[in-house]
Chains A and B, each alone.
Chain A
Amino acid sequence: MAVPPCVGRTFTTVLYNDPRTAPLQIEKVADYARAALPLPFAVVELRGEFLSHAVKTWNADPKTIARQLACSRLLDPVNCDPIGDPLPGELAYEERMLLDHSRSPTGVAYEGYLVQEILRSLIPRSERRRTVLHIVLTTRLLITREPGEGRGHARTIILGDPTIISIAGIVEAPALKPETYLALQFFRSPDLQSLLFEGERVRHGAIRYGDERLTEVVKGYVLQAVFYRLTGEPFCGDRTCRLYNAHTQEELIESQIRSGRLCRRHESILRGLY
């Protein structure tokens, strides 16, 4: 494992909350990260919603951000094709979502890497340092299509700087059990399929919008972001480790809720970073 570039220096994790992620308790996430990470990595700074912060503190132009976000909306989440030139209504929608936090950007999917690039471009050079990790919480649904993948996939987390943790992704991306999808194929009506799928979510105890368990889940994703920055390796193969890359709701709940801890190996790696 490579020696972290920030060893020996203070390392700051900046967490940007979004009030639309409620009932997620960001203070508890920050406290968890402070307790879990050894000094000097335990410095965790809480800030408000990222885009508002960019407008108010870094003097970003809201109209430019709205246009960039509108351009990153996906025409077709399966093929992951951005819409290109936005309609006036799409621009107006993004401006409203940017400025009014009582409204939530739902029902729209965005190309994840484009959004990450937009956010990265807003961070001033003075804050783009190896010793600072920006983690942005969002309610937007982010889709990416990796090389070799036949279709776009919803993402819970997009690692990098900034790292983006998507609440919509945590709900939508990890799959239910395969038998759910096989059973739904018997119903030809998409209306019925959709309604039955919602029932299956409840039956399987999957994470839902407005779920109190989101706080616990996000704690694990914050650790993945930090590990990625410090070691270059965010994930673990152990299903009971918080760094497990969950592809199903069952795995997500196993790693983040039932276990809610790091495996011995990653615990020792963390301690070794002193």
Chain B
Amino acid sequence: MSIFSKVGESEITRAIATTFLEMFGEYSRSDVIVVGAGPAGLMASRELASRGVKVLVIEQNNYLGGGFWIGGYLMNPVTFREPAQRVLDELGVPYKKFSEGLYVAHGPHSCSKLIASACDAGVKFLNLTKLDDLVIREGVVRGVVVNWTPVEGLPRQITCVDPIALESKLVVDASGHDAAAVKRLEARGLLKARGMGAMWVERSEDAVVEHTGVVFPGLIVAGMAVVETYGLPRMGPTFGAMLLSGKRAAEVAVEELEKIEAVI
């Protein structure tokens, strides 16, 4: 008597492919596509999905969470400056007050809870999916062009796999230092990113949150992509701004979606 039920290999394959393709087909058109599943992208997508917005996140790596697993220098405690610890309360992540205004939590616990919370809210993910380009119609970003990360990583002479397009009403660039979507606009001469500035920890977190918003019609920038876009100072190994920038991006996205709905 075996422990597990008897299921053939083809049935397992069919389960994977059918489930994936059902989701893929449904999310070929979303309300919002978030580029990058780091802390800012996860936070933005979680907030949007919890408000009933149809959100798809594309992540170039196999794993979700970006740099949120590690706090800096390969040490996994992650730090948050007040008031970002309130997000940890929302997520149910335990933390300690380290000093006045500074809180510390474990990276694996914080990151996994944020991923779980985003999944619970209804966010869908495409792992190993890399942004290739943007869909732009009448001067407005209306989706992304993507390909498998392994395909993008191989020389063109070996792979000749065309990318595909996914449509959305809005795109959020939360791709970290890559600022992948912003760089695509820059390549077309539609925008000039400033590049990352020098480090100024005490001042940079506020600046990141304050600059989170629409950078081009249809494109919102969040997290470290904000730093790259506006040439803001680096902030070092602290994550409060990423979480609050994600929240701000979601608020801006909801406002923008309302404007789009009003026009329709």
Binding site for B on A (CB under 8 A): 75-78, 83, 85, 87-90, 92-93, 96-97, 103-104, 106-108, 141, 168, 189-195, 198, 209
Contact = CB atoms under 8 A, between A and B. Distances in A.
A32 B207 CA distance: 34
Given A83-B194, A89-B211, A89-B214, A190 B236 contact: yes
Given A107-B203, A107-B204, A75 B230 contact: no
B179 to A, nearest CB: 13
A195 B215 contact: no
- Could you say which interface size class chain B belongs to? 20 to 34
User: 10 closest pairs, A vs B, by CB?
Assistant: A107-B207, A191-B236, A107-B203, A106-B203, A194-B199, A106-B206, A107-B204, A194-B201, A190-B199, A89-B215
B76 to A, nearest CB: 15
A104 B206 contact: yes
Contacts of B158: none
B220 to A, nearest CB: 10
Interface in B207-258: 207-208, 210-211, 213-216, 221, 229-234, 236-237
A78 B215 CA distance: 26
A87 B207 contact: no
Contact of B214 (A88, A106, A190): A88
B260 interface: no
Interface of B: 72-73, 191-192, 194, 197-208, 210-211, 213-216, 221, 229-234, 236-237
A90 B214 CA distance: 10
Given A107-B210, A198-B201, 10 more contacts: A83-B194, A87-B191, A89-B230, A104-B206, A107-B208, A190-B236, A192-B73, A193-B199, A194-B200, A195-B201
23 contacts: A75-B231, A76-B197, A83-B194, A85-B192, A87-B191, A88-B215, A89-B213, A89-B214, A92-B213, A106-B207, A107-B200, A107-B208, A107-B232, A108-B207, A108-B232, A141-B203, A190-B234, A190-B236, A191-B73, A191-B236, A194-B200, A195-B236, A198-B202
Which of B201, B204, B208, B210: most chain A CB closer than 10 A?
B210
A78 B197 CA distance: 10
A213 B173 CA distance: 42
A93 B210 CA distance: 7
A195 B234 CA distance: 12
Contacts of A189: 73
Nearest to A92: B213
A65 to B, nearest CB: 17
Contacts of B236: 190-191, 194-195
Given A87-B191, A88-B215, A89-B221, A191 B237 contact: yes
Nearest to A83: B194
Contacts of B229: 87, 89
Nearest to A209: B202
A87 B213 CA distance: 12
A185 to B, nearest CB: 15
Nearest to B191: A87
A209 B191 CA distance: 34
Which of B192, B203, B205, B221: most chain A CB closer than 10 A?
B203
